[in-house]
Structure 1
Amino acid sequence: MNPKNRSLTLLAALMALASVGAAAPAKPQTVSAWVTSADQSRLLARQDDVAFKAKQQALDVHIDVDPAQRFQTMVGFGASITDASAWLIQQRMSEAQRKALLSELFGRGPGGIGFDFARLTIGASDFSRAHYSFNDLPAGQTDIALKGFSIEPNRLDVLPVIKAALAINPGLQVMASPWSAPGWMKSGDSLVKGSLKPEMYGVFSDYLLRYVDAYAAEGVPIFALTLQNEPHFEPDDYPGMRVDPAARAAVIGQHLGPLLAKRENEQKRKTKLFDWDHNWDQAESPLAVLADPVARPFVAGVAWHCYAGDVAAQTLVHDAHPDKEVWFTECSGGEWAPEWRKTLPWMMSNLVIGGTRGWAKGVLMWNLALDENYGPHLGGCKDCRGVVTINSKTGAVTRNIEYYALAHASKFVRAGAQRIASTAAVAGLETVAFRNADDGSVALIVSNGSAQAKRFSVAAGGQKNFVYVLPRESVATFTWPGRP
């Protein structure tokens, strides 16, 4: 070949290779965004997509997300299916209304918000239409063998609703808590007030195990129990029971813990046991139980409520006992806090963001549903708000602040996801981030509790950034694909 032609051919080949490289620039990574604002102009509303851009500079207000730093594995988000919630769903909604609502709450289809976690009451709470246990007796009588035990009071409403939720989401994790032992096991012989008699520690443990087995026989596995709801509180008009740390340690270490361990060995069915199930303000109480060397091995984790104290208590106890799980199991909205501009940021800061940054594997609100009169209830809270309100005459559903606060996590963070590192707080913004286990996708939740819109940048595991403007007193969830 002519040397000149050979040179021209080589030059053409090099130009062709260069053009191939230039023809396939890296495609920007797309970020999906959903926003809820306190003025309710946007309610879990899908926004225009944004994109990570390699040459986009980080702003002064900047959030870093690092998927390589991983923390607790999530079970999920949800609420309690109280007697009141179950009765409204089962008795005050048509079949079509009921199916639509449960599919929305527990489903993961396009219209679902994907609750993966629920709580039941073992017997009555204040949100029941009657005060009862599963083994009630006339005053002065006892039933040590529990021959009269029956979950019959739950067959009309609670069991059908929880079974329907499980049919929609078979992975739903269900825990349960008693508000009181049967009255005959207590000082005062009443469901209201009183403490558990020491001679009844074993019988009460048997009672709780009977409940777990009875629900399992109905196809409803109980993955976790607490010994007592709010054990430092004795309400005067609905079931409750004081169980101080020494008593809880004795019941757990000498009775209920060994019974659950034996059941696991014999039946290969594990039910975890959580201590406390009460407020952030008395961290010394679960710490006292965990200091008991006999009880501690049987305690899987500590459960928390929001009504007093600070969410930082969760981290305090976790740091003292990093082998024990953290769970957030109750907080109620109510008409004492009706303003979206205050309540939405508070719930994000303390429950969804603060709760999970404080190591919680699951986050629960209190009543899944209440009616237009904040009931039905018998004693207790007179203005509590459900995650949804069901009109007791028409079955119509109103989605409340609590619904949107939870949905910004539950819709995008699936069971098995891990919390990952993100900038905790910057310029009035608070964040938490998760990586889903099944496909590696990332969900970043950002709450703006300030009275001004905030413009910020986000980087994830590299030099690329996206920029977003979040309205005042609002929350956004951003998602983007990742590697499984």
Structure 2
Amino acid sequence: MVYEMMAVKKYIQLVFCFAVIGFVACNKPKQRVVTVYETSAGGHSLTQVQTVASKEYEIKLTVDTTVEYQTITGIGGSFTEATAQVLSALSDDKRQEVLNAYFGSEGAQYSLTRTHMGSCDFSLTNYSYAAIAGDKHLDHFSIKEDLNDLIPLILDAQNSSETGFKIIASPWTAPPWMKDNNSYVGGKLRDEYQESYAQLFVKYLDAYKKKGIDIWGLTVVNEPHGNGNNWESMHFSPDEMTSFVRDVLGPTLEKSGWNHIKILGYDQNRAGLDEWTQSMYANQENAKYFSGTAIHWYESTFKVFEKSLQRAHVKAPDKYLIQTEACVDSEVPHWRDDAWYWKKEATDWGWDWAPEDQKEWHPKYSPVHRYARDIIGCLNNWVDGWVDWNMVLNKQGGPNWFKNWCVAPVIVDTEAGEVYYTPLYNIMVHFSKFIRPGAKRIHWEHQDSDLLVTAVRNPDTSLAVVVFNPSQTSKVFQLKVAGVEQVIRISKNALQTIVIKTNQRYES
């Protein structure tokens, strides 16, 4: 009876095909549609460019969808008090425009974000959720400092996003009274306040949940090596952080019903990654509560530290490896000057302050090149999430209580109410919009020494191939993937995202 029903169903389908679009169309194979977007120093800005009709090419780029690597968690940027304050200076329409640009279906569609717990350098002043000294049980815990800026910003971003996004929360320090130096800057957590510090996370998760915000993951503290005693910080050694998570924070979250929250260890520069993962993943007991590792890019303006990333993956192949912070620092942004972002004129902290044996790690660089190279390099070496720092800053590169001015992909003239989408915004879109959560990184090969490439297969079966050409010569390559053989030209000094989708009209 079942077989008879199936036969009837198939007969009806065939009759429909003959009657409506003909037998040939019903049995056509799936066809692939190739769309190419380019951002370039020459003026393209997420511009859709035409593929090349010629069969002549210099380079063959082959993508193999059968060879898979890590699953992508997400790509995005960070909610900070500075960003919230700058956006509040805009009209309601302009503010919503920026939120749509980051989270809307026509925008970047950020899928992974970060925010700070308590104050950070990109706050207006120092503050803590547990401000009263000696309040060991956190009876006076309050997120009142976030009620007028951070929380409304996150809620509005959630309302602007159709697909949603994950949030990682990071404290820059424990409340000063919990530390051995009684200061926001530097010092270590005192042993007698470890339980209190763990409860701070629970109180925070509860409070944000009540406001309609679900936190996906936590880091124990931002930059446990410190930051030269400049702004909010708290020091941990690898073993100290591991024991705190293993013996205090992990069990506390578990007992409080927050055991699904992802705990990411470390949260600083990649050059120190080996030492931290060695402690975190030394044995199953140590690793139990760690969901993964968080890293930053500030150790160098060009090095990706591929070997360290690879070793971290080998030590814990089932754990997350997420880039949680990156920005162009120590440079007052150039207002509406797209060309500057493509030039090797930016410097970072290491240009002036790096030890002599590491000065070579900090040459001047092009901001666009740094972003594109780093995201591609990270993805190609097992990083599954990449999070930028401030989404929006003012023309000065703040506000920032420490005057630690930085660049954001979107800059606002708060006096004139004008918004400038820098080329860095376009670079982020090339990745965040087309590489979606749940995507699988896939294998590729080519023989050109200039081109940097990464590729994924998204959950909707679309393919995204990102190609960066930092050279001063345009390139013509043949892309071969999933039955497609397409010739494409990439401009000099340009980034492309090539999206390959199945044309559903041809499906039988």
What TM-score, normalized by structure 1, do the two folds share?
0.87
Larger radius of gyration: 1
Relative distance call for 1:235 and 1:148 in structure 2 (3 A) is farther
Contact 1:234-1:242 at 8 Å conserved across structures: no
Contact 2:224-2:266 at 8 Å conserved across structures: yes
Unpaired runs of 5+ residues, structure 2, are: 1-22, 334-339, 344-365
- Map of 2:453 onto structure 1: 431
SS of residue in 2 equivalent to 1:67? strand
Relative distance call for 1:183 and 1:449 in structure 2 (3 A) is same
- Map of 1:179 onto structure 2: 172
Q: Of residues 193, 204, 214 in structure 1, which corresponds to 2:207? A: 214
AA in 2 matched with 1:80: S
Distance 2:342 2:282 in 1: 41
Corresponding position: 1:333 with 2:333: no
Aligned counterparts, 1:150-229, within 5 A: 150-169=142-161, 171-229=164-222
Q: Of residues 428, 450, 460 in structure 1, which corresponds to 2:481? A: 460
Relative distance call for 1:214 and 1:38 in structure 2 (3 A) is same
Aligned counterparts, 1:34-433, within 5 A: 34-39=37-42, 41-49=43-51, 56=55, 59-89=57-87, 91-109=88-106, 112-137=107-132, 141-169=133-161, 171-264=164-257, 270-283=260-273, 284-291=275-282, 293-308=284-299, 310-311=303-304, 312=306, 313-334=308-329, 336=331, 338-341=340-343, 342-351=366-375, 353-379=376-402, 381-382=404-405, 384-423=406-445, 426-433=448-455
Q: How many residue pairs are counted as aligned between the two chains? A: 446
SS of residue in 2 equivalent to 1:345? helix
Distance 1:149 1:28 in 2: 58
AA in 2 matched with 1:304: I
Deviation at 1:49, TM superposition (A): 4.7
Deviation at 1:281, TM superposition (A): 0.8
Relative distance call for 1:25 and 1:95 in structure 2 (3 A) is closer
Distance 1:21 1:181 in 2: 68
AA in 2 matched with 1:272: K
Report sequence identity in percent.
29
Runs of 4+ off more than 4 Å? 24-28, 335-338
Mean alpha-carbon deviation: is it higher for 342-351 or for 288-297?
288-297
Deviation at 1:435, TM superposition (A): 1.3
Distance 1:213 1:319 in 2: 35
Contact 2:59-2:446 at 8 Å conserved across structures: no
Distance 1:237 1:430 in 2: 36
- Map of 2:19 onto structure 1: none
AA in 1 matched with 2:252: L
Deviation at 1:426, TM superposition (A): 2.7
SS of residue in 2 equivalent to 1:159? helix
Q: Of residues 472, 476, 479 in structure 1, which corresponds to 2:492? A: 472
Distance 1:218 1:290 in 2: 35
SS of residue in 2 equivalent to 1:478? strand
Relative distance call for 1:27 and 1:326 in structure 2 (3 A) is closer
- Map of 1:10 onto structure 2: none
SS of residue in 2 equivalent to 1:46? strand
Distance 2:447 2:189 in 1: 44
Distance 1:317 1:299 in 2: 13
Distance 2:60 2:329 in 1: 34
- Map of 1:4 onto structure 2: none
AA in 2 matched with 1:295: N
Distance 2:321 2:384 in 1: 6
Contact 1:425-1:431 at 8 Å conserved across structures: no
Relative distance call for 1:26 and 1:417 in structure 2 (3 A) is closer
Distance 1:189 1:160 in 2: 31
- Map of 1:14 onto structure 2: none
Distance 2:373 2:330 in 1: 19
SS of residue in 2 equivalent to 1:228? coil
Deviation at 1:410, TM superposition (A): 1.2
Relative distance call for 1:65 and 1:236 in structure 2 (3 A) is same
Distance 1:205 1:436 in 2: 37
What TM-score, normalized by structure 2, do the two folds share?
0.83
